[in-house]
Structure 1
Amino acid sequence: MHAVEHSSRLERIIQERFIQAPIDVVYDYVTQPDRWHEWHPTSLSADTGTTGSLPAGTRFTEVVDLLGVRVPMSYRVQIARHPTEFKTVFTSLAVDGAIQYFLQPHRGGTLFKRVLTYETELQLATLHERMLELSDVALDQLKHRLENAPFV
């Protein structure tokens, strides 16, 4: 009989963008998970049961595309400090972790930092690189959307 080795390690992806938009606008937009699909390529849909920015304690679900597989995720908002910090923790069969946003006013716009912390037992060599790429794309799309769309 062989013991099965499960190794999961905590991974972290930290990215930052300067967004030429007011901090309130950025915060209100990024803290609406049902709009994440508008800028994050892995987000297929989210159900928050409400509209607008989510307060701490709120639970919601999201379906993400994890390397071509639809994965349902469960979330709980841990921190909602308007307009400077937002953190939600998530769990699923494939991956667990947290997403945290830090915002600060900067030169008439907003410095937006997104920290994704996750761990998984999936042995996927390309997962971290792919998540890094997708996070990059997501932040570029978020910046573009907030700077160019009068959607608010």
Structure 2
Amino acid sequence: MHATEQPVRLERISHERFILAPLETVYDYVTQPDRWHEWHPSSLSADTGTRGSLPVGTRFTEIIDLLGIRVPMSYSVQVARRPNEFKTVFTSLAVDGCLHYVLHAQPGGTLFKRVLTYETELQLAALHERMIERSGVALDRLKQRLETLSG
């Protein structure tokens, strides 16, 4: 590492919401990346080449909006344990990391936890705060969408 280079820091963003919808309904919806744009404001589109929840080993691509720039992402599903856990790793020119969903059945619905872990060499002060805000908005939208569909 050169003296002027900044070390890459691993960042973690975690949010959870109680959703008034059955565990399987939540899992089946959130594990379809081609539907992420319906609830996540940074997701523009995804191409999985299939329909439904993705199994382990599936590779897919997504285009995200990163501070106004369209960034192509490449993913690989690492964990797909229906209906409790889904994890995918991603890489791009701008950011690398993983998305981890953990779901728990609770009376009347599902506790959904989304953890985004990432690293980037981009030195953008606003990036982490923006990603925290967008993740919160995404889970609020997800909750509203699933409760409307289940209601």
Please indicate the TM-score interval, normalised by the length of the shorter structure.
over 0.9
2:35 aligns with 35
1:67 aligns with 67
Q: TM-score, normalised by structure 1?
A: 0.96
1:14-33 → structure 2 map (5 Å cutoff): 14-33=14-33
Mind listing any 5+ residue stretches in structure 1 that lack a counterpart?
none
1:1-150 → structure 2 map (5 Å cutoff): 3-149=3-149
Q: How many residue pairs end up in the alignment?
A: 150
Specify the code of the residue in structure 2 equivalent to 1:16: E
Structure 2 counterpart SS, 1:44: strand
Distance (Å, rounded) in 1 between the aligned partners of 2:108 and 2:44: 32
Alpha-carbon RMSD across the aligned residues, in angstroms, is 1.3
Structure 1 counterpart SS, 2:24: helix
Q: CA deviation at 1:105?
A: 0.3
Structure 2 counterpart SS, 1:121: coil
Per-residue CA deviations over 1:60-106 (Å, capped at 9, x if unaligned) read: 00000000000000000000000000000000000000000000001
Q: CA deviation at 1:29?
A: 0.1
Per-residue CA deviations over 1:35-74 (Å, capped at 9, x if unaligned) read: 0000000000000000000000000000000000000000
CA contact (8 A) 2:21 2:150 kept: no
Distance (Å, rounded) in 1 between the aligned partners of 2:101 and 2:3: 39
Distance (Å, rounded) in 1 between the aligned partners of 2:3 and 2:39: 42
Q: CA deviation at 1:149?
A: 2.3
Specify the code of the residue in structure 1 equivalent to 2:120: T
CA contact (8 A) 2:9 2:120 kept: yes
Distance (Å, rounded) in 2 between the aligned partners of 1:65 and 1:17: 23
Q: CA deviation at 1:7?
A: 2.0
Distance (Å, rounded) in 1 between the aligned partners of 2:126 and 2:4: 22
Using the aligned pairs only, state the percent identity. Answer: 75
Per-residue CA deviations over 1:6-39 (Å, capped at 9, x if unaligned) read: 4210000010000000000000000000000000
Q: TM-score, normalised by structure 2?
A: 0.96
